[in-house]
Structure 1
Amino acid sequence: MTAKTPEPASWGELRASHSDREAVVEQLREAAAEGRIDLAELDTRLEQALTAKTFADLAPLTADLPRSVSVLDPGEPLVLKGSFHGAARTGRWEVPAHITAHGGMGGVRLDFTRVECRLPEVEVEAYGEMAGVTVVIPEGWAVDTDGVEPGLGTLRDKTTPERLPGTPLIRLTGSVGMAGVVVRHPSARERRLLKREEKREGGK
């Protein structure tokens, strides 16, 4: 009997990261400096921001402030299932804060090389299963693989540890399964194709 896959969390139920909390704290301090909230209210909201667990906890703290950068909308969770034919997200696509990838028998490929992502952190819950999961991230993006559980397959992290300012952290969780999970930067061939596409688009 196979375990039932948990339903994707709603927007408000998604866990907030340190960066999410820090962004709200910074906005609250700016609002107090401008006289929009008094010091007593600032203290109360700061305490709530620093102890917030989810986006639903954070969102109300800046909802009444103008010029709100507030909490970035994490988007609807994305679930990909490799099944028999495989599944992929490539090219330009909207990146949510939480992605679940089941390798199945066809495999899953997540390619972030052409996306624009303002989220500070993206969780990729990868299950290698029979055919594996491949994650391709641009140079300058970083990945945290500490949350991936071992299995019969192998976790292969071929990325460099350097993370450029303003880029998201890809936080890998899940399990490697039988076929494994691979996270890497674009290959030489993929980089050449990216440059050709960028030149083609620039000429339009």
Structure 2
Amino acid sequence: MTQYETPPGAVRTEALRASDSDRQRAARLLQDALGQGMIDLDEFTERSAAAANARTRGDLAPLLDDLPAAHEGPGAAVETPALVLKAGMGDVARTGVWDVPSRIDAQCSSGDVKIDFTEAVCPHREVTLNLECGWGTILVIVPRGWTLVFEAMATGAGDITDKITAPPEPGRPVLRAHCKVSAGNIRFRHPR
């Protein structure tokens, strides 16, 4: 076997099924390329349609191969800094359409923090949530199909409530939660 052959029993990366995150990442890269003048509107339209219909990662590769940003990382989204949310006596929220980083640090003293993943674009397979709550409330809204895993939990007089009931779906993001509560509440639920 040469160094370029696939070992017996190994799955070629291009043969793997494309996830929604893979297709969304491709759409973002194509949008950026259009904005920078690397591709024209007709090419953007054609490539975007093909990306939306891609079944495998191999289907996406030729659509992105000539774009420099597609090669900035090991086939995953470009790493972004952690999102830091701090609420003293007021409220802080991250809702609507937004790009999810691989780590979110949220703290509240007596205010509230809301993290709503319902419309968020998550290019990462796993996202770490570091949640620390004093007297307030941290509410995390988790789409159905996403997985919630508690890595660490500590409470004083407060509560950590998990109302995530939908089964996990393959290829959807995994939230790894580290929770610490003094007298407030950290709640996880699905969108209503």
Into which bin does the TM-score normalised by the smaller protein fall?
Answer: 0.5 to 0.7
Distance between the aligned counterparts of 2:81 and 2:184, measured in 1? Answer: 28
Cα shift readout 1:132-161 (whole Å, capped 9, x = no counterpart) = 211001111110124122221011000025
Contact 1:145 1:171 survives alignment (8 Å):
yes
**What is the aligned-residue identity percentage?**
30
Where structure 1 has 5 or more consecutive residues not aligned to the other structure, the ranges are: 1-30, 35-65, 188-204
2:122 maps to amino acid: C
TM-score normalised over the length of structure 2: 0.60
Alignment of 1:1-204 (within 5 A): 32-33=4-5, 70=74, 71-160=76-165, 162-187=167-192
Displacement of 1:92: 0.6
Specify the code of the residue in structure 1 equivalent to 2:176: R
Cα distance in 1 between the residues matched to 2:92 and 2:126: 23
Given that 2:88 and 2:109 are in contact with CA atoms closer than 8 Å, whether structure 1 keeps it comes out as yes
The alignment of Structure 1 onto Structure 2 pairs a total of residues equal to: 127
Unaligned runs of 5+ in 2: 7-64
* Distance in 1 (alpha carbons) for counterparts of 2:79 and 2:116: 18
2: distance between equivalents of 1:165 and 1:125? 24
Q: Equivalents in 1 of 2:104, 2:127: separation in Å?
A: 8
CA deviation after TM superposition for structure 1 residue 163, in Å: 1.0
1:54-107 residue CA offsets vs partner (Å, 9 max, x unmatched):
xxxxxxxxxxxx885614323111110111211010001111111011022211
SS at match of 1:32: coil
| Deviant stretches of 4+, over 6 Å | none
Q: Distance in 2 between matches of 1:32 and 1:137?
A: 41
What is the CA–CA distance in structure 2 between the aligned matches of 1:94 and 1:146, rounded to whole Å? Answer: 23
Q: What is the CA distance between 1:174 and its match in structure 2?
A: 3.1
CA, structure 1 residues 129+164, in 2 after alignment: closer, same or farther (shift >3 Å)?
A: same
1:118–1:167 CA contact under 8 A, matched in 2: no
